Every structure is written in C-alpha cells, then in structure tokens.
Amino acid sequence: MTSQPGSSAAEPPDQEPSDQEPWDAEAEEAALDRARPARRSTDRRWWIVGGVLLTAVVAVMVWFGLSATQGSVTAEVITYEPGERETSVTFEVTRPEGEAVSCTLEVVDGQHASVGRRDVTIPAGPSPTRTSAVVRTTTPGSNVDEPECRLTG
C-alpha cells in the first residue's frame, strides 16, 4: 500500500462510511431530554407551590389584620384647655355601634408625670362619638395622654 505525499495513514478518508448516519442536533437534544427528568416541569411545580404558599400567607395576614380591628375601640384627643386646677378635654371615640365604653383620661405635666386622672363612661350610641369632660388636677397640666378606652358591655 502506498501513501500519497503529505498524508499519513492515520488520517480518515475524505468520504464517510455508508453505515454511519449524519449528525442530527434535534434528535440528540430529544434523546437528552428523554434521558434526564423534565427539569422545566419540576421548576414550574416549585413556582406554583411557592405562589400558593405566598397567597395563603398574605390571606392569613389580611384576616388577622381585619379581625384585630373588629370590635376595637379607639379614642383621640381633639382639644384640651389646661387650667390652674382642672383641664377640660374634648375627645372622640370610635367603637362598635351601640356599645358602651369606659375611657380613662390622664393629664400630665411637663415632665410627663400624672397630675390628674378621670374615668368617663360613654353610653351606647352612634360611632364616632365626641365627648367633653373636665379632669381635676393637682397642679397645672401641660398635656393630655391619648385616652385608654375599653368596651363595658
């Protein structure tokens, strides 16, 4: 067997053997997809599970937030007029319709020490309700703390 100049015996011939099929990229990709589990569907499943869990957590948080405000009583000082031995306080109470409440008003001095306190009962009625009360003080007050109110029913 003679070899041609510039070629070696180890080089493959220029023609492909007839028993080999040409390379098919799509067929190879399909074979790889069959060989490994469907990663895309697994990833999609985790996104679905995460979305469902996130929705459930948000729903629980909204439910807790709404239930915490049901039946609650809030009060806000509208105005106050301090005097030498008493302070006149006007405040507004928001409560469930038709419920009676009891509110504690506290007048404080410049060092935030209590100088007067009074409990005020507000009978059942519409909400919100604006109420005025006079709180006797031991010394002149400089501020009124937010009223602490609770249902009496």
The whole-number pLDDT of residue 138 equals 94
* CATH match for 74-151 among 2.60.40, 2.115.10, 1.10.760, 1.10.10: 2.60.40
pLDDT digits (tens, 9 = 90+) for 8-66: 555 555 555 556 777 887 877 777 766 666 566 677 888 888 999 999 999 898 888 77
Name the maximum alpha-carbon separation found in the chain. 128
Instruction: Tell me the domain boundaries of the chain.
Output: 25-69, 74-151
pLDDT digits (tens, 9 = 90+) for 141-153: 999 999 999 988 6
Distance CA 107, CA 110 (A): 10
pTM score of the predicted model: 0.54
Q: What are phi and psi of 144, to 5 degrees?
A: -125, 125
The dihedral sign for the CA sequence 98, 104, 110, 111 = negative
